[in-house]
Amino acid sequence: DQQVKQNSPSLSVQEGRISILNCDYTNSMFDYFLWYKKYPAEGPTFLISISSIKDKNEDGRFTVFLNKSAKHLSLHIVPSQPGDSAVYFCAAIIGGATNKLIFGTGTLLAVQP
């Protein structure tokens, strides 16, 4: 049972435009959400996160939005750059007793020059 879902396996955008990556979750106990970026032959690297008590977090070109009622979060990249081309994973943590990190299936972003 996939608790964190990314329904778009791939996304292609033009350089300079906005990239929007989406993520849905089913477990209402998740209280912290993270986005990871992964290049081929490398481990995932942390990009940005958001606590469940917030609805928006911004870091430079990257903004994450959280809609708790819809159990949905999204990552916006503005403006998109060719170096942003990678696989993006959404992940979630149930805080407190354990910080197991549960990942979504990933979205391959291709930014065309």
CB-based burial of residue 3 (10 Å sphere; 0-12 exposed, 13-18 middle, 19+ buried)? middle
**Is residue 92 within 8 Å of residue 33, measured between CB atoms?**
yes
Residues 16-35 that bind another protein (CB under 8 A): 32, 34
Is residue 77 a contact residue for another protein (CB under 8 A)? no
Bridge partners of residue 102, in order along the sequence: 92
Please name the residues in contact with 49: beta carbons below 8 A apart, sequence gap of 6 or more: 32, 33, 34, 35, 57, 64
Q: Which is nearer to another protein, 38 or 76 (CB)?
A: 38
- The window from 10-18, 60-68, 69-77, 93-101 that contacts another protein (CB under 8 A) reads 93-101
| Position among 89, 92, 109, 111 found at the interface with another protein (CB under 8 A) | 89
Binding site for another protein (CB under 8 A): 4, 6, 9, 32, 34, 41-46, 48-49, 89, 93, 95, 98-106
